[in-house]
Structures are given as C-alpha cells and as structure tokens.
Structure 1
Amino acid sequence: MRSAQTVAEHPEPARGRLHRLNLVTLLPLLTATGVLIVAMDSRTWWHAVVLGLGVAAALVAFVRWAAGDISRVALPCLAVAAPVWPLGALLMESGTAFFGITVVGTHVIPQLRRRRVAAAVGLSGFVAAVGVAKLLTAAGYESGDLIRYLIVPVGVTAAATGLMFPNKRFYDVVADLEESREREAELAVVRERVRFASDLHDIQGHTLHVVKLKIALAQKLLRSDIGRAEEELREVHALVADTITQTKELAYAQRRLNLSAELENAKNLFEAVGIRVHVDRRAGLDSHAGELLGQVLRETTTNILRHAQAQQVWITLSESGITVINDGAPDTPLPELHGLATLRERVADNGGELTVEQKDERFLTAATFPDLRPDAAPDPRKADR
C-alpha cells in the first residue's frame, strides 16, 4: 500500500504557539519596565551597569523560557540576577533592583522537577532577607522604606511565583492534550492499515483457498480426464491473474470504493481524533465517478490524519464532485503530493479535474467532473453544522 504523502508539514504545536504569544505580548512590557528601572534608579554609570545586568538576565531568562529551554540559562541568569538585588538595595538605594531575580526565579522554579515549593519559599525569603538587611543597616527609615524594600518586593515576588505554578500546569495540560491527539491520530492510521489488511485478505485469502481446491482437483483428474484438468488449470491461471490486478489496484488506491461508505468512514476517523467534521451532501453521483471520489476522499483523509493539525474539516458533495478543506495548514510552500498526483491522472483520464491548494492556513482538495455539472463546486464552509 502506498504510504500517505505529506500534504502539510507539522504546524507549530499549541504549546509553542502559547509560548510565542507570551513572548510577543510580554517581552515589550518587561523590556520597557527594565529600561524604566535603570533610568529612574541609576545615579552613576556603575549603577546603570549593575541594574542593567539584572534586567538583561531577566530578559534572557524570559526569552529562553518562551523557547522552551530555560534550563540552559537558568544557573547563569540566577548567578547574574541574584547579586543585583542586595547591591541595589544596600548600596544604591534602589527599591526596584529585585526585578531581575524575581523574573528569573519565577520562570526557573516551576520548571524544577522537585522541591519547587521549597525553592519558591527560598526565593521569597531571599528577597525578604535583603529588605530586612536594608532596614536594619539604615541610619533611620520611614514607613515608606518598609513598603519600598520589604513589602512590595516580597509581595510581588510571591505573587509572581504563585501565578507561574498554574501557568506551568496549564502548559502541562496542553502538552498532554497534544500527545493524546497524536496517539489518537496514530491509532486512526493503524485502523486504516488494519482495514487495508482486511481488504487484502479478502482478495488473496479467498483466491488462495480456491486455487488450492482447484489444483487438488486437477491432480486427481490428470490420469482420468486430462481435458478437465487443463480447464481447471486455466481457471487457476485466470484467477491468479485477476487477483494480481486487484492487489495492484488496492496497493495504488485504485480498487473500487463505495463513496458513501468512505464518507462515513472518514467522518468516524476524524471525530475519533477530535476533529469537527461538516458534511454537505447536496447530490448523488454516478457509480463510476463515486468510485474515483471515494479514492480521493480516502487519500485526503489519511493525509489529514497523519500530517495536519486540523481542528475542522469541511466535506462537500455536489453533482459535479467533492471538495475537502481542512484547517491547520502552515503558510509554507506546497509539498510534492505523489499519492494525489496518481489520482489526478486517473481523474483526468475520466474527464475530471483534481485541484490541490494551500492558502490562509487551509488545505483544499477538490475533485470535479465538469461534464456532470458545468458550475463549480460549492464552498464547503457553507456546509451544515
């Protein structure tokens, strides 16, 4: 059997898209906050350098977290960001120098495999200890200093760390759903292979059984009825030749198919992996056209299951043909489609046309027979929901 050809390369996983969304939306905010901290709290050039290092560590940690590999920079970023807070608070009179260690810590801690709660408590304790040290070493402080160096830094750090734990859990759930979807898609493909094996067994199993009986009969007739034995052998030869033809047709998706059965099978396969299916069956087709369209639908179904991250599929049957559209296709160059190319030739030989298009994150496969109906196939997005 021909393996399904790629109709669309794997689009970016949902977890990756979420990380990228966070990067696009939050990185400018973090950058602006860091620049503002450096501008407001720096009184000398070395103040700007120290605070800038903390901001840089925070931005690097956030960018690598968005890329999904913060573990590579966790220790360097912590080593750079951690001293900035005590230096800023004790020597530079900066109440915002905790920015770097808070951003780095809140993104690193949820990624730890164990003792995450202890690490979160330790981070808040470190921020608090620096604040207390600042208050104790100051010649005199007002209530505003308590808020600036202790309450605000500890509160922001604890709140940010607490919010990152459900955020991490959310990403884990998304990852589990993606893995489940992949397993369901593979299972659907396995079911399709089992169905192919069943078809192959139907073709060859029956033939081999009949051949065995006829050869046994021919052996018995060799001495008593040569003419009858020759006739049996001729039938065996014809039966084997017909089986070879049917096997080739099955291997190249050219065996006669029932369009209604293929439509129901495709709908069941898509729904099994959580893909919404919209079917609009507006007219029937003649049997020969239906066989070709069934082959197109089977090939398209297999491609979507194996190579797309579709959420919805629209299938439209009209008097002139079939149109299948799926979403989840990336905006990349169209790959070579060997399986559909073979079907395109067969459809063309029978007066039809097979169209394949990729646009606006949608992939379209349409097979039409203009002689059956002159107007174009309808838009499947108007299908019944």
Structure 2
Amino acid sequence: MQPRIPRPTVIAASFVAVTLVSLAGLLMPALWYEAFVRPDLGRFTVGLLSVAAIFALYGRLLWLNLMRRTAPSHRLGLAAIAAACWALPPVLGADNGWGNALVVPAGLIPVVLPLREAVATTAVATVLTPAYGLVLGLPALNVLYEFFGVPVAAFSGYVTIWLFHVAHELREARAELAQSAVGEERLRFARDLHDVLGHSLQAVALRAEVADRFLDRDPGRVRKELTEIQTMARDSVRDVREIVRGYRATSLRSELDGMSAVLQAAGISCERPEVADLPAHVHEPLGWVAREAATNLLRHSGAGWCRIEVWTDDAVHLEITNDGAPRRSRHHAAGGVGGRPPSEDGGGASWGSHDAGSGLAGLAERIAAAGGEFTAGPGGDGTFRVHASVPLKGEA
C-alpha cells in the first residue's frame, strides 16, 4: 500500500518535530547530569535556557526553509546556534555530556546554505569540530563521534529538505494530472463539435448568401434555398444531440479501465476487477460513478490506494473504497424507494474531500433516475466508501 501525501504544512511540522526529538537525544543526557547526577541549580538553569533557545531558533529556521521562505538573516541564525553550542562545553563542562552540542549545528548547514557552500562548510566543520573537542579535552571516543557525526548530521539535513520537496512536488503533480485529464476531455469534445458542425454551418452560410442574391430576381429559388437551410439546421441540431449523447454515454468496463490506469499513473494503487457482460442500461449510470470517482480522487483526496468491486444479484453493484476519508460525518444519498439526493452543501460530499458536493448530488440523481441506490461517506476507519447499485431489470 502506498502512503498518502499529507499537506506541505503537515509534512514540514512532522520533519521539525522529528528533528527536535533527535536533538533532544543529544542534549537531554547533559541536562539529566546537571539535575540529578551532580545537582547544580545554576548550571542546570543556564543549560535548560540555552537548550530551549537553541531548539526554538533551530525549529524556526528549519520550518522557514522547508516552506521556502529563505532569507539572508538565516545565516546569522545558523551562526548564533553554532556559537551557543560551541560555548556550552567550556562554560558548563565538556565531561558531562555537553560535548554532544558541538554536532547540533551541522544539521542546519545544508538547510540554510546553498549546496556548494554547504559542502564546503561541512568539510571545514568536520575538521574543526573534533579539533575543538581535543582542545576541550574530550575523550577519544567523543572526538571520533564528532568527526563522523558532523557529516552524517549535515547529510540528514540535506535529505530532510530533499524529501520534503519531493513530496510537495508529487502532490502538485497529482493536481496537475487531474487538471490535465479534464482539459484533454474538453479539447476532445471541442474537436468533435468542430468537426461535425463546421461543415454544416459553412453550408448554411453559403445557402443564405445564395438566397440573398436571388431575393429580388427569383423568389422560387429563394424558397428552395430557405428550405435547404431549414433542413441543414435540423440536421445540425440532430448532429449536436448525437455528439452530446455520445459524449455522455459511458461503458462501465472502459471507465474502470481508464480509472485504474490514471490512478496508478498518479501513484495510487488500484486494480480493476473483471467485469462480466452486463445489461446495457447499467453501463451509463455506473460508468458515471467510476468517472466521477477517479476525478475526485485525483483532485481532492490524499488516497494511497483504491479498491473497486463489482458484483451482481438482483442488481449490479459497484463499490469504490479508498483511504482518503476526511474526519467528517457520514453522508448518505439514495435513489429508489425512500431515497433522496444529497444536498450540495452537506457534509462529507466528496471522495475524501470537502468541496465536491455537487458531484455526489449529480450521481445520486442519475442513479435514482435508473431506479437504483447510491450511498457515499467515510467508513470510520480512515476510508471513504461509495456504493451504487442499478437493478438488472430496467429500460435500455
């Protein structure tokens, strides 16, 4: 199962929290030492305030750079964190765990500085940090830890920025893919409409010009041309209706093929079930359910997987479940006996979204017109379930 992609702010907050927790693992032992092993209220207070200030500035710089709000002043913030971390061991003692603070600034180097400057600065810090540890009299294992810890921390900061940007770009790619699918469908419809109507409208224009030329000379010819224009106009109207009918007509099998293909291309795990031969009258309403499900999944949800099930008893059932449900109350719409379409401003009106109520209302109306039933809403376990059924016995 592929993980869903949260919003950028949620990802950034998670990265900041995880980073600060890892830094706490470096500095909390020193505070524990000052508080319980060798109690000293003054030293403990200085250490606690210093750690709190370092964490606050570190978290703010990381958040701002993850959200691409870079500024030249961030270099001063990095320098302030480095100065504070390098001042803690000589002030509070390097033999009680404060030597770990020397590694803390390394994680911010690739976050604040451009890549080339970050590589050069990390290389310098990899040499200076253990050298400073030797001057402070740290044990050999601590010095060795700092020698390897600085480049590892810097690489971890670089990976954090990279992963955040990759996740953000993937989320944007999903939205662009949905928009592209809608645009391509509009272009196809416009092309078909132009191909069918272009010739007919041009012929009508030419017949009207001919009628205008014979208006004073040959009334019989004018009547003939007007008759032809009427015939062409009726034919054009019929052609437009055929285009619209062909555009709206759907096949459940083809819609499920297209749905699974586009969702998999967007990184959502989805397998199309095998669909047996079904009555002609069920294809259009259920095909619309599949089409709207794919569109809304791409546009509005952060789903990682989608399950499609089709079965028959006295009706043909289509059920689509995904893991992109919001924390909202269940939404229900049913056609047939006792059913009514959902209101367009009701809660939960989407496939894991908050603003597609009109889509669900339209589907409920289509299924109700076919004598079937339609339900949609969160399943309570983080999933969103859509179920539509159309009776086997119906008009084609």
TM-score under structure 2 normalisation? 0.70
Task: Give % identity.
Answer: 26
Is residue 88 of structure 1 aligned with residue 89 of structure 2?
yes
Is residue 37 of structure 1 aligned with residue 1 of structure 2?
no
Shift of the 315–106 alpha-carbon distance from structure 1 to 2, 3 Å rule, reads same
Shift of the 254–351 alpha-carbon distance from structure 1 to 2, 3 Å rule, reads farther
Range moving further from structure 2, 154-163 or 351-360: 154-163
Q: What CA deviation, in whole Å up to 9, does each residue of 1:168-219 have, x standing for no partner?
A: 4444554554455454444333322322323433554465356446656766
Q: Is the 8 A contact 1:55 1:100 kept in 2?
A: no
Q: CA deviation at 1:151?
A: 3.9
Structure 1 residue runs of 5 or longer lacking an equivalent are 1-9, 136-144, 374-385
Q: CA deviation at 1:116?
A: 0.6
CA distance in 2, matches of 1:341, 1:54: 58
Kindly report which structure 2 residues correspond to 1:94-113, keeping only aligned pairs within 5 A, or say none: 94-113=95-114
SS at match of 1:339: helix
Structure 2 residue corresponding to 1:300, chosen from 293, 304, 328 = 293
CA distance in 2, matches of 1:87, 1:74: 20
Kindly report which structure 2 residues correspond to 1:141-180, keeping only aligned pairs within 5 A, or say none: 145-147=138-140, 150-175=143-168, 177-180=170-173
Shift of the 147–324 alpha-carbon distance from structure 1 to 2, 3 Å rule, reads same
CA distance in 2, matches of 1:168, 1:28: 17
Q: Is the 8 A contact 2:109 2:118 kept in 1?
A: no
CA distance in 1, matches of 2:265, 2:311: 26
**Which consecutive aligned stretches of 4+ in structure 1 deviate over 6 angstroms post-superposition?**
216-222
Q: Which residue of 1 aligns with 2:45?
A: 49
2:193 is matched by which residue type in structure 1?
A: L
Q: Which residue of 2 aligns with 1:277?
A: 270
Q: Is the 8 A contact 1:57 1:81 kept in 2?
A: no
Q: CA deviation at 1:66?
A: 6.1
2:387 is matched by which residue type in structure 1?
A: A
Is residue 196 of structure 1 aligned with residue 189 of structure 2?
yes
Superposition RMSD in Å: 4.0
CA distance in 1, matches of 2:14, 2:155: 21
Q: Is the 8 A contact 2:273 2:309 kept in 1?
A: yes
SS at match of 2:273: strand
Structure 2 residue corresponding to 1:342, chosen from 343, 362, 387 = 362
Kindly report which structure 2 residues correspond to 1:312-327, keeping only aligned pairs within 5 A, or say none: 312-319=305-312, 320-327=316-323
TM-score under structure 1 normalisation? 0.71
CA distance in 2, matches of 1:21, 1:341: 36
Q: CA deviation at 1:325?
A: 2.9
Bigger RCO of structures 1 and 2 (CA < 8 A, at least 6 apart) = 1
CA distance in 2, matches of 1:175, 1:26: 19
Q: Which residue of 2 aligns with 1:7?
A: none
Q: Which residue of 2 aligns with 1:4?
A: none
Range moving further from structure 2, 358-367 or 58-67: 58-67
CA distance in 2, matches of 1:291, 1:214: 39
Q: Which residue of 1 aligns with 2:6?
A: 12
1:341 is matched by which residue type in structure 2?
A: A
Q: What CA deviation, in whole Å up to 9, does each residue of 1:38-60 have, x standing for no partner?
A: 13146543322332244224433
Range moving further from structure 2, 90-99 or 315-324: 90-99
CA distance in 1, matches of 2:24, 2:92: 24
Structure 1 residue corresponding to 2:375, chosen from 349, 355, 380 = 355
SS at match of 1:283: coil
CA distance in 2, matches of 1:125, 1:111: 20
Q: Which residue of 2 aligns with 1:288?
A: 281
Structure 2 residue runs of 5 or longer lacking an equivalent are 329-346, 349-353
Q: CA deviation at 1:79?
A: 1.3
CA distance in 1, matches of 2:363, 2:195: 23
Q: Is the 8 A contact 1:299 1:339 kept in 2?
A: yes
How many residues in Structure 1 have an aligned counterpart in Structure 2?
351
Q: Is the 8 A contact 1:57 1:77 kept in 2?
A: no
Q: CA deviation at 1:279?
A: 1.6
SS at match of 1:12: coil
Shift of the 328–210 alpha-carbon distance from structure 1 to 2, 3 Å rule, reads farther
Q: Which residue of 2 aligns with 1:367?
A: 388
SS at match of 1:309: coil
Q: Which residue of 2 aligns with 1:133?
A: 135
Q: CA deviation at 1:115?
A: 0.6
CA distance in 1, matches of 2:281, 2:205: 34
